[in-house]
Homo-oligomer: A and B are copies of this chain.
Amino acid sequence: MLTNTRTIRIEWGDCDPAGIVFYPRYFAMFEVCISALFERATGLTKYRMVKAYDFVGYPAVQARAQFLAPAKYGDDVIAETSIGEFRRSSFDVHHRVFNGERLAVEGFETRVWVGRHPDDPAKLKSKPIPAEVIAAFTRAPSPA
């Protein structure tokens, strides 16, 4: 299935007093990578997807990562992102972040497609992922 690859510069503000990435920043990076993967597949930014498909987002219900090698500010890491599986209203994402030749971080997330709850707009409720979105991942992608 479609894999999106991007180079991400580790910035000063991503790092902690040990001089290495403060690990919650990797999960923020995962969010960026998922948006980019969907944009690669559908041609739409997350903002446009939210408007086009009338949903609220795809929050995580599970996330895990292994931090195998540190990265520091000034490093350019390569993040590879792909969907493991699409289900009715959730999907799995696989992330691999390389620092040079080394696998620095490997991450897995489960995300849920949600909209506003029909009975209470302050609440969220899972929605089916549009078939069109899933189909976009199996079509030949547009060039990066």
User: Which A residues have a C-beta under 8 Å from some C-beta of B?
Assistant: 9, 11-13, 15-20, 22-25, 27-28, 31-32, 35, 45-48, 56-57, 59-68, 70, 72-75, 114, 124
Contact present for A59 and B124 (CB under 8 Å):
no
Contact present for A66 and B73 (CB under 8 Å):
no
Which of chain B's residues have a CB closer than 8 A to the CB of A72? 17, 47
Contact present for A62 and B65 (CB under 8 Å):
yes
Tell me how far the C-beta of A59 lies from the nearest C-beta in chain B, rounded to whole angstroms.
6
Residue in contact with A67 in the complex, picked from B16, B32, B61, CB distance below 8 Å: B61
- A46–B19 Cα distance when bound, in Å, is 12
Contact present for A18 and B57 (CB under 8 Å):
yes
Can you list 25 contacts pairing A with B, beta carbon distance less than 8 Å? A9-B32, A12-B22, A12-B32, A13-B16, A13-B28, A15-B17, A16-B17, A17-B18, A17-B19, A18-B56, A20-B59, A20-B124, A22-B31, A23-B27, A23-B59, A24-B25, A24-B28, A24-B31, A45-B73, A46-B73, A46-B74, A47-B74, A47-B75, A61-B67, A62-B64
Which of chain B's residues have a CB closer than 8 A to the CB of A11? 28, 31-32, 35
